[in-house]
Amino acid sequence: MSAQSQVRRLTAPDITKRKGGEAIVSLTAYHAHTARIIDSYVDFLLVGDSLGMVMHGYESTVPVPLELMIMHGSAVVRGSSRALVIVDMPFGSYEESPQQAFRNAARVMKETGCGAIKIEGGVQMAETVDYLSDRGIPVMAHIGLTPQAVNVMGGFKTQGRDKSEWKRLEADAKAVSDAGAFAVVLEGMAELLAARITRQIPIPTIGIGASVECDGQILVLEDMLGLSPHVPKFVKIYGQLGAAIEVAVRNYAEEVRSRAFPAPENTYEMKQKTATGVKRASKNTKFGST
């Protein structure tokens, strides 16, 4: 068998080329099985550090360790074959210096097999974006509401609703674009500002709570599937998986208690002896006859 996959995975330059064209579709993914389901519908899968809050019960993304990102990142790469996989660099793994960022980002790329990484920050991270991009690491930047800075911002605060903030946020977008980022996430940003930034820079803007004016959109998968107990205003719920899980689990619990489950079709029977040899007793034995 060829070592090359049949399907060519999208790359960071493929995403950059989509600027101003068909809207770029993306979602977060944290596991191999969800990555497998959504792979063919999205252009990139982001292994976001939001997994700390969504999967591991942290109050913010600040405590997320690099090892956790690597573990989930490699699962998503294994579960997908077409979408570009981007792994978030967690708080504390890249801010100190471009060298620290390179060391950790190279580890993420080697150990997960992802095609790019994402870091939060604008002007102050431009040097790091430039350093990484120059050394073979495609960087997606993330500006506006940057959750890793929650303790400095004093909460998850929407950005750019006051015009006095525009100059700073526009400078952030220009700085990461000039430094070589292949795309930039605009999070929690007023529509007018997101539209201005999208027009001003040559790389795609990916919005999350930043309006339809962006070149593409991303949502946290669990939020749009109705699995998260609370979601921000910008999330549209496309499925009610939380309710579906509850119905399924309630039915299971009832059937276990009433002994309706396991039924005969879920039960292994003894092998039956025939004149010609051993015959399987049931066709419904999903995992074989042992």
Nearest approach in angstroms of CB 155 to ligand KIV is 16
The answer to whether residues 149 and 45 touch, using CB atoms and an 8 Å cutoff, is no
Q: Which of the residues 187, 191, 255, 265 is marked catalytic?
A: 187
**Among the listed residues 39, 43, 88, 215, the single contact to ligand KIV using CB under 6 A:** 88
Can 187 be counted among the known catalytic residues? yes
Nearest approach in angstroms of CB 187 to ligand KIV is 6
CA atoms of 125 and 251, how far apart (whole Å): 51
CA atoms of 85 and 138, how far apart (whole Å): 11
CA count, 13 A, side-chain hemisphere, 178: 13
Q: Is 53 or 193 the residue whose CB approaches ligand KIV more closely?
A: 53
208 binds ligand KIV (CB under 6 A): yes
Q: Is 43 or 49 the residue whose CB approaches ligand KIV more closely?
A: 49
Q: Is 185 or 201 the residue whose CB approaches ligand KIV more closely?
A: 185
Site pattern 93..132 for ligand KIV (x: CB under 6 A) = ----------------------------------------
CA atoms of 101 and 110, how far apart (whole Å): 14
Nearest approach in angstroms of CB 51 to ligand KIV is 7
CA atoms of 141 and 118, how far apart (whole Å): 6
The answer to whether residues 175 and 122 touch, using CB atoms and an 8 Å cutoff, is yes
Residue with nearest beta carbon to ligand KIV: 48
The answer to whether residues 204 and 187 touch, using CB atoms and an 8 Å cutoff, is no
- Count of positions on this chain that bind ligand KIV (CB under 6 A): 12
**Among the listed residues 27, 38, 45, 50, the single contact to ligand KIV using CB under 6 A:** 50
Q: Is 59 or 164 the residue whose CB approaches ligand KIV more closely?
A: 59
Q: Is 241 or 247 the residue whose CB approaches ligand KIV more closely?
A: 241
**Among the listed residues 38, 220, 221, 227, the single contact to ligand KIV using CB under 6 A:** 220
48 binds ligand KIV (CB under 6 A): yes
218 binds ligand KIV (CB under 6 A): yes
Over its C-alpha atoms, the chain yields an Rg (Å, rounded) of 23
Q: Contact region for ligand KIV (CB under 6 A) — 34-42, 45-53, 66-74, 193-201? A: 45-53
216 binds ligand KIV (CB under 6 A): no
**Among the listed residues 132, 185, 214, 221, the single contact to ligand KIV using CB under 6 A:** 185
Task: Choose among 217, 141, 218: nearest CA to 179.
Answer: 141
**Among the listed residues 12, 15, 28, 68, the single contact to ligand KIV using CB under 6 A:** 28
Residue indicated by tokens 């790091």? 128
Q: Which residues are catalytic?
A: 187
Residues near ligand KIV (CB under 6 A) are 28, 46, 48-50, 88, 142, 185, 187, 208, 218, 220
